[in-house]
Structure 1
Amino acid sequence: MKFGTIVFPGSNCDRDMAMVTSQLLNQPTRMIWHQDTDLSDIDVVILPGGFSYGDYLRCGAIARFSPIMNSVLEHAKQGKFVLGICNGFQVLTEVGLLPGALARNRDLHFICDRVPLRVERTDVSWTQGYGKRDIITLPLAHGEGRYYADENTLKALEDNGQVLFRYCSAMGEIDDASNPNGSLNNIAGIINKQGNILGMMPHPERASDPVLGETDGMKIFEGLLALTAMG
């Protein structure tokens, strides 16, 4: 399985992501400059965290117009995998590959922390390595991570089972006290209806290396490899 990490001006988690896919997973990995357009050799496109274009105007709002994004749209249309993490999630909502938007955090402060998440589904490739309702811990670092959608969109997400991760307490409780940024329904990560596109604010790549003592994020990537092995 070949991974491609998109590099926008201002991306700062691209090398972290490439280290996971190339060194920890031992998979071919290509860094793709935002002005390139060829994704023909890529199985999984990753939009990493950071501050694309300095987050001027609005997070992800300028990156959506990069030349590479038309190719990402086509890649997704073909049913291939797309993963957007933090700023990458913001870009996916801006370009319309995922519904909703990411707004300023509830308390208007940048958050840098490690938080518990509850895994809501395990019947999709991204989370098949977890157990349903598993509680995992992932780092997060953002100033605009509050997930928002209108009432109808939110209902559709819930009805279709598109919420993969929710912010929760250490015991798995979903409440305001365990919601770090004010996201509606404690949403931390969602997929599209087909399940090939995942956007999430927490950083699984920062919890994948055993050297760091945290590996809860690795199963997201291993789930994709397991799918390939089965195929």
Structure 2
Amino acid sequence: MFAIVVFPGSNCDHDCYHAVKHVIGRPARFLWHKETVIDKDIKCVVLPGGFSHGDYLRAGALARFSPIIKAVTDFAKDGGFVVGICNGFQILLESGLLPGAMLRNRALKFICKDVFVRAANVKKTPFTATYTEGRVIRLPIAHAEGNYYADAGTIDELKTHNQIIFNYCDKDGNISDEANPNGALLNIAGISNKQGNVLGMMPHPERASEEILGNSDGRALFQSIAQHIEGA
């Protein structure tokens, strides 16, 4: 069972629900941000994109105080899978579930377009196991604060523990500054925690999950999680 958390200002919650429930055919339900308990049948919690609490102060800064976040934190500590997409990634950073911070895009503009990303260490992460090594995928982004930053020590930790899950790249898989849409360090588009059960990513896989949308590259992420849970 997947649970999608709904904050005031979420706008991708139904997209995530649709991707899970109707595209990959797994049970899903919504969790209001004021709930304090995550039921035992929930195996993966999704924090969706949007503008929680209007992005006041900064993206995700107020959502971290929602009652559900303590439950999500405990859920993650117990090994439950958590995925934060775009605003959800920002909330995970603000909550301390992932290291680092999000800065304003280097162009100081909201960016909404398709980008290419490359999955790293695909066989070592439950989020990308159905992707082939080195595969380049196309996913949409829509954010003003997607410029991932961390101090040098944290970056070294991410490298050492294979926590960099997605990098922005060009269509041929080359990681370069030209392929970096927001200025993120190391072209980082997604990271995990050390335990490997919490993922934050700026691109939107739920918006690219079925052929009718013109792109199904994001579907494999949800399939990977489901297959890992079912095979555990």
Partner of 1:24: 23
State the alpha-carbon separation in 2 of the partners of residues 93 and 57 from structure 1.
14
What is the percent sequence identity of the aligned residues? 52
Q: CA deviation at 1:38?
A: 1.7
Shift of residue 210, structure 1, vs aligned partner? 1.6
| Residue 70 (structure 1) aligned with residue 56 (structure 2) | no
Between the aligned partners of 1:228 and 1:163, the Cα distance in structure 2 is 21
Give the structure 1 partner of residue 224 of structure 2: 223
Instruction: Give me the whole-angstrom Cα distance separating, in 2, the residues matched to 1:75 and 1:137.
Output: 31
Any runs of at least 4 consecutive aligned residues in structure 1 with deviations exceeding 2 A, and if so which? 228-231
**Residues in 2 aligned to 1:228 and 1:97: alpha-carbon distance in whole angstroms:** 20
**Which whole-Å deviations, capped at 9, do the CAs of 1:106-131 have from their partners, x for residues lacking one?**
00000000000011111211000011
Residues 139 and 208 of structure 2 are in contact (CA less than 8 Å); yes or no, is this contact kept in structure 1? Answer: yes
| Separation of aligned partners in 1, 2:131 and 2:42 | 25
Tell me which residue corresponds to 1:7: 6
Q: Which residue identity lines up with residue 24 of structure 2 in the other structure?
A: L
- The aligned amino acid for 1:76 is A
Distance (Å, rounded) in 2 between the aligned partners of 1:209 and 1:131: 19
Assess if the C-alpha contact under 8 Å between 2:90 and 2:101 holds in 1: yes
Distance 1:159 1:26 in 2: 36
TM-superposed deviation, 1:20 = 0.8
1:12 deviates by: 0.3
| TM-score, with structure 2 as normaliser | 0.97
Which segments of 5 or more consecutive residues in structure 2 lack a partner in the other structure?
Answer: none
| Residue 204 of structure 2 corresponds to residue 203 of structure 1 | yes
Deviations 1:71-99 (A, max 9, x none): 00000000010000000000000000000
Quote the residue 2:118 is aligned against. Answer: 118
- Tell me if structure 1 keeps the 8 A contact 2:118–2:167: yes
CA distance in 1 between counterparts of 2:226 and 2:92 reads 23
C-alpha distance after superposition, 1:141-188 (max 9, x if no partner): 000000000011011101211001000111111111000000000000
Output the CA distance in 1 between the equivalents of 2:83 and 2:97. 11
The equivalent of 1:164 in structure 2 is 165
**Which residue in 1 is equivalent to 2:32?**
33
CA distance in 1 between counterparts of 2:104 and 2:228 reads: 36
CA contact (8 A) 2:24 2:219 kept: no
Structure 2 counterpart of 1:83: 83
Alpha-carbon contact 2:43-2:229 (below 8 Å) kept: no
1:229 Cα offset (Å): 3.5
Q: Distance in 2 between matches of 1:26 and 1:169?
A: 32
One-letter identity of the residue aligned with 2:23: L
CA drift of 1:24 comes to 1.1
Q: What is the CA–CA distance in structure 1 between the aligned matches of 2:83 and 2:89, rounded to whole Å?
A: 8
Partner of 2:136: 135
Q: Give unmatched runs, 5+ long, in structure 1.
A: none
Q: Distance in 2 between matches of 1:229 and 1:66?
A: 30
Offset at 1:202?
0.2
Q: Across the two proteins, how many residue pairs are aligned to each other?
A: 230
